[in-house]
Structure 1
């Protein structure tokens, strides 16, 4: 007499196959997400007396943007070493993802 179907199934093999499939899917999604092109909009802002980098970046950022990351990226893009010593008249470039039109 044969064993019941649930006892004949090799559950460890099925589990291993599912884990491999999930891992491959996660790797594929991560690759797709990192290579997907995003449109960047470039804003040019002139620093005025009393401006802070955080304030200038905040004028451009939307509520979906991580301000810390964007401020760090602006510092990197504009080669700003001391954000507390912005010179009036300096022009900084702020690149943000294009907001999707509704």
Structure 2
């Protein structure tokens, strides 16, 4: 089961186990109103993020071809390199290829 936000996408796929675990966290009778659904969604989303975080390894998200810059690289060029490589961080290295 996939829940989508207003844009039609969601960063986390919720499975039935996430939803059941979320429903067990809620107290009392569940009357499905928009507010209740949002509460279920919040708990289920947190369960899904937790499940994914426990199951993923660094190798699953790491970049194998490292993109680097030197301390003299402009911020604009650095941002362009990061965007081109679709990465959110970039090491800054010195002339000896050591992280500065």
Q: Determine if the TM-score, normalized by the shorter chain, exceeds 0.5.
A: no
Query: TM-score when scaled to structure 1?
Result: 0.33
By relative contact order (CA 8 Å, sep 6+), the higher-ranking structure is: 1
Query: TM-score when scaled to structure 2?
Result: 0.34
